Structure 1
Amino acid sequence: MISELEARVSRRLMLRIIPFVMLLYFISFLDRVNVGFAAMTMNKAIGLSPTAFGLGGGLFFIGYFLFEVPSNLILHKVGARKWIARVMVSWGIVSAASAFVVGPNSFYALRFILGVAEAGFFPGIILYLSLWFPARQRAVAAAWFMAAAPISTAIGSPLSGAIMKLQPIWGLADWQMLYIIEAVPAIILGFVVLKYMTDTPSKAHWLKADEREWLIAKLKTEADAKQSHAGHTAGALSALRDPRVLALALIYFGTSAGLYTLGLWAPLIIRQYGFGSFETGLLAGVPSVLAVVAMILWAKHSDRTEERTWHVVIPCVVACLGFVFAGGATSALMIILALVVVNIGISAAKAPLWAMPSMFLSGAGAAAGIAMINSVGNLGGFVGPFAIGWLKNVTGGYSAGLYLVGATLAVSAVVTLMLSRQSKQAPAAGEEKAVH
């Protein structure tokens, strides 16, 4: 039973922090995957084959991978407010510049640079949330934040489809206008971050004195308890070598492969059934609405039961089966149903997964470890989209690629179970709880 003060603090944190970081992630995800809609006319205009498009779409994650850990360590040093603002302005500029690619090489370069510009945003926000929310609220906070991705798909897909139907202005093609229009909010919000975001609870003057003192004391108590455990990791280099970090990165790899396969290829997969740009956008958005509901309810259940392992395993298996179903689909209805299943599975797995690292990482170790999980895991965002494009060139269809992406989610489920079993066999204090 929580106290009235704790409930009041929780409510203030949810209202002040979560809607804002959701908005930032909404714009981030929109700028990251709108290339899937631009591709409907861009690929022909600049001469991109399916393989070239898949490669370019995935190169984003190579830049992301290389700069993720350094970016998050800088954020840990200078504070989230300044660094997140820098990230948003730079990615907005690069996203707008994507409107002026002229061929495969410039497309590859801009996608890579976009990954560099955006590196550190997602793990930075996950780290930021761990500095504000007590452990029992962390999965729900992460779930609300990450719900912005399927919401971005649900709202952004028909929005992107509608922009693609606008009349050309200033000699710009539809796909060029898409990049520019959807990049502007990122640049504006970068400056808003400087005014709105607060780095730490000690600086939160929007909390009452008793609320601020309770929150600081609660987080310090949790941090002290965590540091007393043998399984705790606080150093950056130690975190990068921690096998639990590498295991979580591999688990996240499968969910990222699934998520970005949907973001980059779902519009093209749906459109093959004869739908127009706007109708494709609406149909691509429908599964995401259900995914948001599933993500929040599943995270609440995970927090309430304090169980993580099966809350990751079950959704990964569901998403795997959804991709298998999609690979064998022969109608638009079957594809939409498969995408619903995939969206629900991938979205539900993420919040319990991201609640695990903060159970055994802190300080620079948390900054480095969370960034490593995200950067290595997001390589799945390269492998998934590229595999779909390459196998489509080889086989002439999407089925083989969808089966392969489904297999990565099966691996995620197996690794989660192996990590849980290893913790039971050798339970360093506090370590077992990180994966249960």
Structure 2
Amino acid sequence: MSQTVGNPVERSTISIISWRILPLIGLGYLFSLMDRVNVSFAALQMNEELKFSATVYGIGAGTFYLAYALFEIPSNMLLTRFGARRWLARIMVTWGILAAGMMFVRTPTQFYIMRFLLGAAEAGFFPGVVFYLSHWFPRMQRGRAISRFYFFGPLASTIMGAASPVLLNLHGHGGLSGWQWLFLVEGLPAAFVGIAIFFLLPDAPRGVRWLSEPQKDWIDSNLAADAERLAAHGTGGLRAAVSHPATLRFGFLGMLTIGAMMTYTLSAPLILKGAGFGSGAIGTLVAVGGVLGALGMLATGWVSDRRGERFTTMWISTTLMGLSFALTAVADSKPVFAVAYLLYGLSWGSVTLSQVSAWPDVLHGRVLALGCAAVNTLSQIGAFLMPIGWGRAADATGSFDAGLIGLTVATAIALLMTAELASHVRRTQARVATA
């Protein structure tokens, strides 16, 4: 029998494990997001210095997500074999070294290869974290836990927005270009966080000394109750995860929203530069957008847990993100461009947070680990293809307008899919409740 919601054991347990594990893995997520998208700031100098066209940049930026998609499921299969702590540490050390190695790129081929290797190294990190948290936080507390972890994502934008202009201004120091300093300084810290994860992140609640027996019992009983509420599905292997009816729905939704999101993120500094903003003003906008995103995500986690469902916040945030794309497409002044970007900064994290928080509500056990990887694989395919189409359209038309219209349409389709997915989850939960 699980403990009554809101009792002292619950409150103390959630508080302790939140402070003990979320800051460290949140820091890992911060560098994860920074190292995959800081190329957007580097592009302000790199594309001109290395003579990269919008197509070359789009292919290189998107190639990261191709590798991420290809290696996502294998990485999470290895995570379930070796344990989350060891595998997450391995991921971070290798990607930190590769992220710093981006400073040595000189040709389009080298750019493609390094972005591919970086994506392969990072594959599995995010779904691995979701799988790890599902062994610590019961369903009714998981939305807030993931939102606190996710909080570090927008902070990556804030730190990157503040630091990147300064690093770009180091151009010429030590014989390095500013974009090379950016990759070096923003890349290496991930490797040190990976070492910290290996030594400091606990494997499971039962193995720690800082939880009492009643607190460990509370976690075990509530996680068991969550598992009982979910319908059993196959053997829990790869086939079961991929064939689960929610996996493809979440995957195609992610393909549209993550694809649109990463395409815009990777070119946002270039869009703002074209609107007349300098690198300092661009950094300020990105930093402020990160703060807004962090606040929006905390609110999203709180609201979705209070409502006991994730789709209201998913619908609202996806709508706001689509509006930001449409507004950017028609913007004709710097203030309008700024408002459009800040609207995007407010909404993007809540879009993915709502989706990710819903995964463990319908998937569990090994199906959750491999299902998360399958969903993320489909999502990254969108993040690979859309930047390439975006770059080709920009080279063909001389502007980003066609690409922005495409992102708006993709988001509108995602809203329709969100409604269908919500209906599917409600039907599934109703069947489980009456079984």
CA distance in 2: counterparts of 1:201 and 1:430, whole angstroms: 28
**Cα distance change, pair 380–200 in 1 and its aligned pair in 2 (3 A):** same
CA distance in 1: counterparts of 2:151 and 2:236, whole angstroms: 29
CA distance in 2: counterparts of 1:217 and 1:424, whole angstroms: 24
Deviates more, 1:99-108 or 1:308-317: 308-317
Deviates more, 1:129-138 or 1:202-211: 202-211
Residue type at the aligned position of 2:326: V
Query: Structure 2-normalised TM-score?
Result: 0.94
Q: RMSD across aligned C-alpha pairs, in angstroms?
A: 1.9
| CA distances 1:100-128 after superposition (whole Å, capped 9, x unpaired) | 11111110111011100000111111111
**How many Å apart are 1:252 and its aligned residue?**
1.5
Residue type at the aligned position of 1:250: F
Residue type at the aligned position of 1:291: G
CA distance in 2: counterparts of 1:324 and 1:378, whole angstroms: 23
> Contact (CA 8 Å) 1:256, 1:379: kept in 2 or not?
no
| CA distances 1:137-171 after superposition (whole Å, capped 9, x unpaired) | 11111112222221111221121111111253432
**How many Å apart are 1:286 and its aligned residue?**
1.7
**Cα distance change, pair 20–427 in 1 and its aligned pair in 2 (3 A):** closer
1:418 aligns with 2:420: yes
Aligned to 1:85: 89
Equivalent residue in structure 2 for 1:356, among 355, 358, 361: 358
Aligned to 1:96: 100
Aligned to 1:214: 218
Aligned to 1:44: 48
**Cα distance change, pair 239–28 in 1 and its aligned pair in 2 (3 A):** same
CA distance in 1: counterparts of 2:14 and 2:300, whole angstroms: 19
Name the SS for the 1:207 alignment partner: coil
Aligned to 1:64: 68
> Contact (CA 8 Å) 1:231, 1:429: kept in 2 or not?
no
Aligned to 1:12: 16
Name the SS for the 2:106 alignment partner: coil
| CA distances 1:322-357 after superposition (whole Å, capped 9, x unpaired) | 111111111121111111222323222222211222
Name the SS for the 1:421 alignment partner: helix
1:408 aligns with 2:400: no
Point out where structure 1 has 5 or more consecutive residues left out of the alignment.
none
1:250 aligns with 2:245: no
Query: Structure 1-normalised TM-score?
Result: 0.94
> Contact (CA 8 Å) 2:233, 2:244: kept in 1 or not?
no
Name the SS for the 1:330 alignment partner: coil
CA distance in 2: counterparts of 1:162 and 1:431, whole angstroms: 56
**How many Å apart are 1:360 and its aligned residue?**
2.7
The 5-angstrom pairing of residues 137-176 of structure 1 reads 137-176=141-180
> Contact (CA 8 Å) 1:246, 1:373: kept in 2 or not?
yes
CA distance in 1: counterparts of 2:425 and 2:88, whole angstroms: 35
**Cα distance change, pair 425–85 in 1 and its aligned pair in 2 (3 A):** closer
Aligned residue pairs total 430
Detail structure 1 runs of 4+ shifted over 6 Å in the superposition: none
CA distance in 2: counterparts of 1:302 and 1:286, whole angstroms: 24
The 5-angstrom pairing of residues 316-327 of structure 1 reads 316-327=318-329
Point out where structure 2 has 5 or more consecutive residues left out of the alignment.
none
CA distance in 1: counterparts of 2:416 and 2:325, whole angstroms: 17
**How many Å apart are 1:232 and its aligned residue?**
8.0
**How many Å apart are 1:405 and its aligned residue?**
1.2
Aligned to 1:260: 262
1:372 aligns with 2:389: no
> Contact (CA 8 Å) 2:229, 2:433: kept in 1 or not?
no
1:200 aligns with 2:204: yes
Deviates more, 1:358-367 or 1:119-128: 358-367
Equivalent residue in structure 2 for 1:122, among 126, 136, 147: 126
1:287 aligns with 2:312: no
Name the SS for the 1:379 alignment partner: helix
Aligned to 1:310: 312
CA distance in 2: counterparts of 1:262 and 1:204, whole angstroms: 42
> Contact (CA 8 Å) 2:170, 2:177: kept in 1 or not?
no
CA distance in 2: counterparts of 1:207 and 1:232, whole angstroms: 34
CA distance in 2: counterparts of 1:203 and 1:165, whole angstroms: 48
